[in-house]
């Protein structure tokens, strides 16, 4: 049960039920669809990229489990206002956290600190893809790809 409470913390349940930035911005200039064929979950990440690689707006739509919705929701809150490079770097660190490559105690900035609530997925290897789907999709949108799949 402890593992489950770690996975389904209040913050995650809240973001999962009331995802932030769950919308389609009309002025988005990049988007990509993310697909998890294993579960049929699908989401679209929209980006409004400004000059100098600044993420001026980031939002998403779609459906998925509490983990994928919460991760997408938190991602939009954290990434807005960052540069593309900062966002990519953050995903790399986050990815290392949820796959257990980096220890949780090493979170050394506020953004990673917020994402630590998602680190519980590393006890549930089948669910790591849920936690990273939105991030992979955002990266694909930045790369100019239309679609990405977790398989």
Partner 1 sequence: MSAVLAELRTGNAPFDVERVRADFPILSRQVHGRPLVYLDSAASAQKPRQVIEAESRVYESEYANVHRGVHYLSQVATEKFEATRTRIAAFINAPDENEVVFTRGASEAINLVAFSYVAHFLKEGDEILISELEHHSNIVPWQLAAQRCGAVIRAIPICDDGQIDMAAYAELLGPRTRLVAITGQSNALGIVPPLERIIPMAHDAGARVLVDGCQAITHRPVDVQAMGCDFFVFSGHKIYGPTGVGALWGRAELLEAMPPWQGGGEMIARVGIEKSTYKGIPHRFEAGTPAIAQVIALKDALDYVDALGLDAIADHEAMLLDHALRRLSEMDGVTIVGTNPAKASIVSFLLDGIHPHDIGTIVDREGVAVRVGHHCAQPVMARYDIAATVRASFGLYNTLAEVDALIASLEKTREIFA
**Where does this chain touch partner 1 (CB under 8 A) — which range of 20-28, 46-54, 65-73, 139-147?**
65-73
Cβ 68 to partner 1 shortest distance, Å: 8
Q: Does 8 bind partner 1 (CB under 8 A)?
A: yes
| DSSP letters spanning the chain | -HHHHHHT-HHHHHHHHS-TTBS--TT--EEEEEEETTTTEEEEEEEEE-GGGBEEEEEEEEE--HHHHHHHHHHHHHHTTSBHHHHHHHHHHHHHHHTTSS-GGG--SHHHHHHGGGGGGGG-GGGHHHHHHHHHHHHHHHHT-SEEE--
Of 131 and 142, which CB lies nearer to partner 1 in the complex structure?
A: 131
Q: Binding string to partner 1 for residues 36 to 55, with x set by CB under 8 A, is what?
A: --xxxxx-------------
- By rule CB under 8 A, what count of residues binds partner 1? 23
Report 102-131 residues binding partner 1 (CB under 8 A). Answer: 124, 126-127, 130
Q: Does 7 bind partner 1 (CB under 8 A)?
A: yes
Residue numbers at the binding site for partner 1 (CB under 8 A):
1, 3-5, 7-8, 13, 17, 38-42, 63-67, 69, 124, 126-127, 130
């Amino acid at each position: 049960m402890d593992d489950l409470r770690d996975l389904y913390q209040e913050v995650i349940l809240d973001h999962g039920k009331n995802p932030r930035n769950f919308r389609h911005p009309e002025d988005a200039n990049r988007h990509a669809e993310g697909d998890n064929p294993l579960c049929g979950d699908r989401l679209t990440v929209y980006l409004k990229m400004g000059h100098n690689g600044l993420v001026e707006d980031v939002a998403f739509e779609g459906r998925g489990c509490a983990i994928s919705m919460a991760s997408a929701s938190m991602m939009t809150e954290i990434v807005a206002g960052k540069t593309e490079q900062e966002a990519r770097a953050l995903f790399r660190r986050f990815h290392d956290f949820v796959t257990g490559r980096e220890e949780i105690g090493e979170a050394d900035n506020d953004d990673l600190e917020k994402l630590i609530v998602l680190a519980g997925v590393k006890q549930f290897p089948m669910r790591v893809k849920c936690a990273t789907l939105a991030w992979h999709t955002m990266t694909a949108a930045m790369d100019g790809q239309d679609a990405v799949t977790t398989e």
